[in-house]
A and B are shown apart, each in its own frame.
Chain A
Amino acid sequence: MSQIDVPVMAQKVAQGKKPEFLFWVGCAGAFDERYKKVVRSFAKILNHAKVDYAVLGTEESCTGDPAKRAGNEMLFQMQALANIEILNGYEVKKIICTCPHCFNTLKNEYPELGGDYEVFHYTAFLEKLIEEGKLKIDKSIFRDKRITYHDPCYLGRGNDIYEAPRKVIQSLDGKFTELKRSKSFALCCGAGGAQMFKESEKGTKEVFSERTEDVIESGAEIVATACPFCMTMLTDGIKFRDKQTEIRNLDIAELVAMNLEL
């Protein structure tokens, strides 16, 4: 068992330090077995690039996104106000999120409630690190690999971030192919709007299965995702279609960390 050195905000502040960035890990990052690997990869990248950051650790709590989308505005605002109190208490100015749902909520829905921060999605942050030369993506481990990318709704349509994840993937030197429905035309994985937490309604098929067909059709060996819910859905879809040997679902942070041999 190896432990990654992840700075915690309370300890940093106790040492009289004020980290530049807060890394918002999110509930999936903290608790979802598969997605834990993603946030681990991202923390390793942050350490590697010597980013001055910290996490809230046990002080972090759900942003309230799924409660809000499921109509429970009361619970959402209780979560939001409590989180804002903690964030403002630490005088947080800049936040990096891996989960697009946390990203959307912190960026768009917290300001009116008193939580005004500069919020970055990690794909845009990685793009910047690569541009600035802080990450040297020079290994050729993905050369000739066919890689495709599934746009998370809350990142693409929701917040108009289409290019950053593509640029990061393209910097890996693989063969990038677009899915049939991509960018603003992308099909949802099926988990947004609190669907992740309930059974789907009666229909003819599952949304993740419909989306997996696009992935299979693209002929990609790797489908890159940038959202914990999309990852759950597409990984399920690939299993459901019995394509685990042909197609791997990896997060962009994992691809970068693999390239850096972290």
Chain B
Amino acid sequence: MAKQFIFIPLLLLTILIFGFTLNRIWQLFKITKATNPTQDMVKRLILTLKIAMGQSKILRKPFIGFMHALVFWGFLAITLGSIEMVMDGITGKEHFFSNFGWFYSLITASGDLFAYIIVIGILIFLIRRKILHIKRFSGIELTSKNKLDASVALLLILFLMVTLIGLNWSNSIKNEAVLTGWFPVSSYLASVFSIEQTLALCVYQLCWWSHILGIFIFANYLPYSKHFHVFLSIPNVYFSNLEPLTKLPNMSSVTREVKLMMSPNPYQQNSNETISRFGVQDVEDITWKNYMDSLTCTQCGRCTEVCPANITGKKLSPRKIFVDVRNRMNDKGPKLIKDKHYTDNKSLVGDFISMEELWACTTCNACAQECPLNISHPNLIIDMRRYLVLEKGLAPTGIKTMFANIENNGAPWQFSPQDRLEWTKDNEQ
């Protein structure tokens, strides 16, 4: 009984804090604009199975991708064990799922095996970050706070796995005769390295409580961390862009205006709709999917690593776009909830993301191709260019000349449309 008296209030507290956080994020989502990537459920489910469950895009880097896939699949297996622990905590029982027979053996065995695999994975990840200093884990957008966040998340996972291993190991010792479940690695370890029963019982209790508390803390830490992707990656892939990568959405507000302009009686079809803004200037102009992308991004840097602009030393880093979106939303969002006309005379475009960055993009979509969570960077970059061009008339000189040429002679260069068949003459022979 004593276990339940402590456990249930702790669980409720965890849910309460988590609910508070989710509500806060929900309010921020409400500031954003509508978009409609929700049709084609079957296609989306298949995509989610392939990219999220099957980890197909992260496996584009075979070795480290496979390590991540193992950690991900391990998380799925271990989550079943965590649910059991919560049930045990609520009911005061032990091994709540143990009457599931062979299925119980399967989930306990895979959970046990994966705990060790995840420890190895996390150690490799830490070595890559802290000792090998892999290039994509640094960049102008990654402050010491971002780097600390990455280490804290990894260390928390390591803590959870160590306590889980301790739990399985001490359980194998204390229940040696009537062990429920199957713990292939831990019971082998228990057979070669054992302790006396009473001590095992103490270790078991210590590990049980520290593991479950660890989970509670981890769950409430995640939404404030880049590791929020643990929760959001699957939905983010589900809602991802199903169109060809280089298909840039047409702005329907512009279609209305252009059709009005080209119609024979432009003044008779006056539309009452007023357009608040063309393109994206600040966080209130982005879509909920853009915001979800920013919350999902775990700053792995695969986008920036393949960006031709970034590779050749330009300021643009696709990862930075989404890091900036999230930071800016954290700053401005809560104030916008209170007052939707709030302004601090700063904006995402200009103060956080410079024109120099936006104009360096070649829209090659290498970043979007590489993103394991199907984030689309170029489309948001173009939305920001749309604001610069359509609202501010700001563009590099060459671009302005190109616009003028298309307007005047229907080609990006200054040639007469009358000469459009000149190519049929072979001047060289």
CA distance A71 to B281 in the complex (A): 13
One of B316, B389, B427 near A1 (C-beta < 8 A): B427
B331 CB–A CB distance under 8 Å: no
B26 CB–A CB distance under 8 Å: no
- Which residues does chain A contribute within 8 Å of B425, judged by CB atoms? 1-4
A203 CB–B CB distance under 8 Å: yes
- Which residues does chain B contribute within 8 Å of A192, judged by CB atoms? 362-364
Interface residues on chain B, size class:
35 or more
Contact flag A207-B309 (CB < 8 Å), given A3-B426, A30-B423: yes
One of A4, A31, A82 near B415 (C-beta < 8 A): A31
Interface contact A6-B398, CB-CB below 8 Å? no
Contact flag A70-B399 (CB < 8 Å), given A109-B248, A157-B369, A187-B366: yes
A67 CB–B CB distance under 8 Å: yes
4 tightest A-B CB contacts, nearest first: A204-B313, A158-B246, A71-B385, A193-B363
One of A43, A74, A109, A201 near B314 (C-beta < 8 A): A201
Shortest Cβ distance from residue B375 to the other chain A in the assembled complex, whole angstroms = 15
Interface contact A58-B420, CB-CB below 8 Å? yes
A210 CB–B CB distance under 8 Å: yes
- Which residues does chain A contribute within 8 Å of B313, judged by CB atoms? 202-205
Interface contact A67-B403, CB-CB below 8 Å? yes
- Which residues does chain A contribute within 8 Å of B419, judged by CB atoms? 30-31
A206 closest partner in B (C-beta) = B312
A19 CB–B CB distance under 8 Å: no
Task: Give 8 new A-B contacts, CB below 8 A, not counting A60-B417, A188-B308, A197-B399.
Answer: A4-B424, A36-B422, A58-B417, A61-B411, A62-B411, A68-B382, A157-B245, A197-B412
Which segment, of B34-42, B136-144, B230-238, B253-261, faces chain A? Answer: B253-261
- Which residues does chain A contribute within 8 Å of B412, judged by CB atoms? 27, 62, 66, 196-197
Give 1 or 0 for each of A133-166: 1 = CB within 8 Å of chain B CB. 0000000000000000000011001111000000
A199 CB–B CB distance under 8 Å: yes
CA distance A39 to B262 in the complex (A): 32
Q: List 13 A-B contacts (CB under 8 A).
A: A2-B425, A4-B426, A30-B421, A30-B422, A58-B420, A68-B248, A77-B251, A78-B262, A81-B258, A153-B366, A192-B364, A201-B316, A210-B311
Q: Which of B251-292 contact A (CB under 8 A)?
A: 251, 254-255, 257-259, 261-262, 278-279
One of B60, B244, B306, B396 near A160 (C-beta < 8 A): B244
CA distance A77 to B278 in the complex (A): 14
Interface contact A3-B424, CB-CB below 8 Å? yes
Shortest Cβ distance from residue B416 to the other chain A in the assembled complex, whole angstroms = 9
- Which residues does chain B contribute within 8 Å of A30, judged by CB atoms? 411, 415, 419-423
Interface contact B244-A36, CB-CB below 8 Å? no
B410 CB–A CB distance under 8 Å: yes
B344 CB–A CB distance under 8 Å: no
B197 CB–A CB distance under 8 Å: no
Interface contact B397-A198, CB-CB below 8 Å? yes
Contact flag A108-B246 (CB < 8 Å), given A70-B402, A77-B254: yes
- Which residues does chain A contribute within 8 Å of B179, judged by CB atoms? none
Interface contact A197-B365, CB-CB below 8 Å? no
One of A40, A62, A112, A203 near B423 (C-beta < 8 A): A40
Determine which residue in B251, B261, B421 has the highest number of CB atoms from chain A within 10 A of its CB, and name it: B421
- Which residues does chain A contribute within 8 Å of B306, judged by CB atoms? 185, 187
- Which residues does chain A contribute within 8 Å of B406, judged by CB atoms? 62, 64, 66-67, 75, 79
Interface contact A71-B389, CB-CB below 8 Å? yes
B363 closest partner in A (C-beta) = A193
Interface contact B360-A201, CB-CB below 8 Å? yes
- Which residues does chain A contribute within 8 Å of B314, judged by CB atoms? 200-203
- Which residues does chain A contribute within 8 Å of B364, judged by CB atoms? 153, 157, 187-188, 192-193
A73 CB–B CB distance under 8 Å: yes
A-B interface contact total, Cβ < 8 Å: 236
Interface contact B390-A190, CB-CB below 8 Å? no
Interface contact B395-A158, CB-CB below 8 Å? no
Interface contact A109-B385, CB-CB below 8 Å? no
B261 closest partner in A (C-beta) = A78
Give 1 or 0 for each of B350-371: 1 = CB within 8 Å of chain A CB. 0000001001111111101100
B401 CB–A CB distance under 8 Å: yes
CA distance A36 to B390 in the complex (A): 33
- Which residues does chain B contribute within 8 Å of A88, judged by CB atoms? none
Interface contact B258-A57, CB-CB below 8 Å? no
CA distance A57 to B412 in the complex (A): 16
A193 closest partner in B (C-beta) = B363
Shortest Cβ distance from residue A70 to the other chain B in the assembled complex, whole angstroms = 5
Shortest Cβ distance from residue A55 to the other chain B in the assembled complex, whole angstroms = 8
- Which residues does chain B contribute within 8 Å of A36, judged by CB atoms? 422-423
Q: Which of A15-69 contact B (CB under 8 A)?
A: 25, 27, 29-32, 36, 39-40, 43, 55-58, 60-62, 64, 66-69
One of B246, B278, B362, B418 near A191 (C-beta < 8 A): B362
One of B259, B365, B399 near A157 (C-beta < 8 A): B365
Contact flag A201-B309 (CB < 8 Å), given A58-B420, A79-B410: yes
- Which residues does chain B contribute within 8 Å of A177, judged by CB atoms? none
A249 CB–B CB distance under 8 Å: no
Shortest Cβ distance from residue A99 to the other chain B in the assembled complex, whole angstroms = 12
CA distance A202 to B257 in the complex (A): 37
CA distance A40 to B384 in the complex (A): 38
CA distance A188 to B363 in the complex (A): 9
CA distance A186 to B363 in the complex (A): 13
B320 CB–A CB distance under 8 Å: no
A113 CB–B CB distance under 8 Å: yes
Shortest Cβ distance from residue A83 to the other chain B in the assembled complex, whole angstroms = 9
CA distance A55 to B424 in the complex (A): 11
Contact flag A153-B396 (CB < 8 Å), given A40-B424, A112-B250, A159-B244: no
- Which residues does chain B contribute within 8 Å of A204, judged by CB atoms? 312-313
Shortest Cβ distance from residue B311 to the other chain A in the assembled complex, whole angstroms = 6
